[in-house]
Structure 1
Amino acid sequence: MKTQSIFSNIVLYGRSTWQIVRSRLSPKKGIEDILNYRYISDKLATSGQPTVAELELISQAGYKTILNLAPPTASNALPEEQAIATNLGMDYINIPVVWDNPTMADFTQFCDVMEKHRSRLIFVHCAMNMRVSAFIYLYRYLKLGVPASEAYSAMKTVWEPNATWQQFIETAIASN
């Protein structure tokens, strides 16, 4: 079991590293070119960590709120992201979800922010869009009533949750 977990982390992080490199080397044309960008609805989109230029694209696309689920110590975190987003006219909120320890308190805070900003265009990101896609799956399924299979399939376009995240997802569903 432990060997399988170690192997899955090597595969996951190796793939993640390659996605970051590929994204940063590819010429940018628009918002859809942001690392692991996913359009969810007219008022919601998600991605991995955007660059300064990509934050400008997000602002130009009309998003009014940036919600970042990665800790400021994440390896690809953007220093001064809050100041940059604010200078672009967007609200900035950070819920630093620890990768190896997502909590129900994190998810509850996330849901509160999503509800508070529901009428505005909101762009949610983390380092790779893995934390975010899991939280968005749960939010859409548990709070918005989107069918589980539909909400889950959107998450699977980004990744297949590892054991830690699968346990978190199961706990969140059981507690709602």
Structure 2
Amino acid sequence: MGAADPSDIRNWQRRPDGITTSGKLEPGDPARLAAIGVQHVVNLALDEHPEALPGEAELLAAVGIGYTHIPVPFDAPTSEHVARLRDAIAAADGPIHVHCIMNYRVTAFMYLLDLEGGTPEPEARGRMTAVWNPPESDEPAARPWKRLILKS
């Protein structure tokens, strides 16, 4: 049997399509992702975030994992960011892991991609709200996410 999912990574999720998602990665996490077969990581967080993993691309490369960085400002997510994530997932060769800092960006974008792919809305929403529910949030930080989601 292979390694178990590193479910202690912040807001870890394994989706039905096999894609794994999470919040921030720690220095030892690239090796843990490699141990479960991840071959490509997409990071939606900004490099300058205080909880970003310094040298992430190099740490992933050292364990044979490819890397795509799509920096998404938390206060300004766009449908172009979603399209770039869609393209990165489509281009990935093998199992993929998508993360940000809290798994908020990721789950909101995956919700939109799920809808695009024909996932029933209640199922897609359930996956997102297991981590974060921007359409129902009154937090000011959720407003741009609510707008992005509700216009879909």
User: TM-score higher than 0.5 here?
Assistant: yes
- Structure 2 residue aligned with 1:132: 106
Letter of the structure 2 residue corresponding to residue 108 of structure 1: A
Moved over 3 A (4+): none
Task: Check whether the contact 1:42–1:121 (CA below 8 A) recurs between aligned residues.
Answer: no
Q: Which consecutive residues of structure 1, in runs of 5 or more, have no partner in the other structure?
A: 1-28
C-alpha change, 1:55 and 1:129, in structure 2 (3 Å) is same
- Structure 1 residue aligned with 2:87: 112
Question: Which entry has the higher C-alpha Rg, 1 or 2?
Answer: 1
What SS does the corresponding residue of 1:31 show, helix, strand or coil?
coil
Identity %: 32
Count matched residues: 142
Q: Tell me if 1:147 matches 2:147.
A: no
Q: Tell me if 1:91 matches 2:71.
A: no
- The separation in 2 between residues aligned to 1:43 and 1:151, in whole angstroms, is 15
Q: Which consecutive residues of structure 2, in runs of 5 or more, have no partner in the other structure?
A: 135-141
Q: Which has the higher helix share?
A: 1
TM-score, length of structure 2 as denominator length: 0.88
- The separation in 2 between residues aligned to 1:163 and 1:42, in whole angstroms, is 29
What SS does the corresponding residue of 2:49 show, helix, strand or coil?
coil
- Structure 1 residue aligned with 2:35: 60
TM-score, length of structure 1 as denominator length: 0.77
- The separation in 2 between residues aligned to 1:38 and 1:63, in whole angstroms, is 14
